[in-house]
Amino acid sequence: MNQNAPQSTDTADTATRILEAAEAQFRHYGYSKTTVADVAKDLGMSPANIYRFFASKSELLEGVCARLLAQSLKIAEDFAAMPLSAEERLRRYAMAQFQFTVTTMMDEKKVHEMAVVAIEQSWGVIDKHIDEIQAILARIIEDGMEKGEFAKGDAVHIARCFGAAISPLHHPQLVAQCIGKDNRAKPEELTEFAIRALKA
């Protein structure tokens, strides 16, 4: 489906209903075991009608992941807007995103499967999300630089490095590999390490 094309309210509502049904099916049965026909049956429509909006099952999954990533982006935007120091905003953001990943991607294994498939496909929606998150981090970091909390530098470059440093807290596969392991840095430790690097 062309995300940039103007849509009527009815068209947009139908697309949303399809994505909601697909997400429910993916969560319950898993991405690999769900077919477009399953989604269509759940909605009481024909598979052909699904294909009017989404060209394939992978495109359906891309749309579902975009919805999940929108929730993640809102977390970043909410913390960026808080009347707190830049350091505290980054700290709370990192921990909130970790909790979001654990709750949304890890506690529900079928959702984790969806995230892994999306990452492996390297869809544009993932790169777009990373760019949006990094832009928010850059704004917070730049504010911290202006107020003397962090060392001066290229906020955009530093935001990329900060994001990479805390990626084990947000990347579903890395979280799955590291959570609960005694020989891995705890989320709080990794967050504090990354924040200290901004002050150096």
pLDDT tens digit string along 89-107?
A: 999 999 999 988 887 766 5
Terminal alpha carbon distance of the chain: 47
Rounded distance, CA 58 to CA 139, Å? 33
Residue 111 Cα distances to 103, 118, 150, angstroms:
10, 11, 37
Rounded distance, CA 140 to CA 31, Å? 36
Q: Which domains does the chain have, with CATH numbers?
A: 1-55 (1.10.10.60), 68-199 (1.10.357.10)
Over its length of 200 residues, how does the chain's per-residue pLDDT go in tens digits? 544 444 556 777 889 999 999 988 888 888 888 999 999 999 999 999 999 999 999 899 888 888 888 989 999 999 999 999 999 999 999 999 998 888 776 655 666 677 777 777 656 788 888 999 999 999 999 999 999 999 999 999 999 999 999 988 887 777 766 677 778 888 899 999 999 999 98
Sorted by sequence, the CB contacts under 8 Å of residue 11 that are 6+ apart come out as 53
pLDDT given for residue 5 in this prediction: 46
Q: How many CB atoms lie within 10 A of CB 13?
A: 11
Q: Which two tokens stand for residue 100?
A: 């979001």
pLDDT given for residue 6 in this prediction: 45
Rounded distance, CA 60 to CA 145, Å? 41
Rounded distance, CA 141 to CA 99, Å? 22
Instruction: Find the helix or strand (DSSP H, E) in which 168 lies.
Output: none
